[in-house]
Each structure stands twice: as C-alpha cells, then as structure tokens.
Amino acid sequence: MSDLADLQTRLGHPFRDENLLRLALTHPSVAHEQNHPVPHNQRLEFLGDAVLGLILSQQLYEKFPGVDEGALTKSRAKLVNAGALAEHGRALALGAHLVLSRGEENTGGRERVSALADAFESLLGAIFLDGGFAAAREFVLREFAGDFSTLAEPAGIDNPKGELQELLQSRSPQAPEYHLISASGADHNRDFECAVRHDGVELARGRGKSKKAAESDAALAALKQLREEPGR
C-alpha cells in the first residue's frame, strides 16, 4: 500500500491510530480471497454512514428552516448517493490507497463507484473513532462545502397526490377523492378550486390555473395538515 502520509494531509486529519485508517481502506474482497478471517471496512462503513447522515441532516435543517422533512430527506439523499460519495472519494484519491484482492484489482476495483463510496464512508467512521464527533464534523463540512454553497432550496413534493394516497393507505384502503368546487375567470385565465376528501371527510382545498393544479395544491395542503397532527 502506498504511503498514507499524503492522504492524511489531504484529509486534514492526522490519525493517532493509523490502523483505523488502514482498516477503512481495506476492501471486503481481501477477506474473500484469504483462507482465514481478515478485518475489512464494512463495519466502519456502517458507522460512517450514520455519522454522515447526522451531520448533513443538521446542516440541511439549519440551511432551509422553511422546508419540510420530505424535501430535506430528498436533498440529503442527493448528497449521499453512491455516485456523489464516489466523487468525494475520487477527489481524495482513495482508489490509490485501497487494499484490494487480486481479482478486484484486475477488474478495475480502484475506480469502482461502490468501492470508492464505501471507502469514503468507512474513512469518516475511522475519523470519528480516532478524533471524535468534532473531527468528523469538521471533515464533512470541509468536504461538502462546495455542495452546500450551490445547493438551492429543495423543491417541493414531486407528486403530492401520490404521496397523499400513500400516507392515507396506512389508515384506510379507501383512496382520496377530488371534487371540483368552482371554476371562474376568462377562458385564457381560469381559476379552479378543488377539495380533497377521504372517507367522506374533507381534508383540504386548493387552487390553480387548471383542475390538475388545483388538485395538487389541495393534496399539498392535506399533506401539511396531516403531518402536523400529533403523533404523525
């Protein structure tokens, strides 16, 4: 394995226990190749995934105070998908430091998205164990500074009618029903109002320039109301 001093410089974290760093870079394929158990980075990946989720969740919560949890969850998912994490791993040149089996090496394992993404999370887990939460947070905020500087406010719910139906299915097999309340205005500038009902009870109303838009607005209003109910 190549010298780890330059990697620690790039990480901005000199390890007190360099064995943790080596473990974070050890791919599971090594264990499969040996005839005896070999420690690898999957446990550290598990830990790093949780630490990363907590740090990014806090940042998103503070950056977008007016955004609901559904949109925040989608924004976090974009930041931590395998492709995004692999890019962070590639920027740190983790591939050059990975400990791989011969088979994994010969099939391009050093540049494999899954290997780089897993190594990045494992590395974060190792930093957390070696330096504590403050060190892990400093590393994450530095690594994701560019992502947060360009991250726009999360979009609203992509499919409010679908999400409302999914939420209501936990209560009753009955699907929500949409009813047109009114339509007014000139043909080129119509204004529609729709209500959404469930099990005979009106949940909310919405408005829009088309019947479909009004139904979506009603579904959004119903989702907000239902999610604010105690116990939900």
In angstroms, the CA 89 to CA 167 distance is 37
Question: Of 49, 104, 118, 193, which one is the catalytic site residue?
Answer: 49
Contact 194, 215 (CB under 8 A): yes
Give the pair of three-digit tokens for residue 39. Answer: 């420690």
Give the pair of three-digit tokens for residue 40. Answer: 């690898």
Residue 121 bears catalytic tag:
yes
Question: Of 45, 104, 118, 121, which one is the catalytic site residue?
Answer: 121
Q: Which residues make beta-bridge pairs with 92?
A: none
Contact 109, 15 (CB under 8 A): no
Contact 155, 71 (CB under 8 A): yes
Q: What are phi and psi of 157, to 5 degrees?
A: -65, 130
Q: Which amino acid is at 167?
A: L
In angstroms, the CA 38 to CA 21 distance is 15
Residue 83 CB-density burial (10 A; 0-12 exposed, 13-18 middle, 19+ buried): exposed
Residue 105 bears catalytic tag:
no
Active site (catalytic) residues: 49, 121
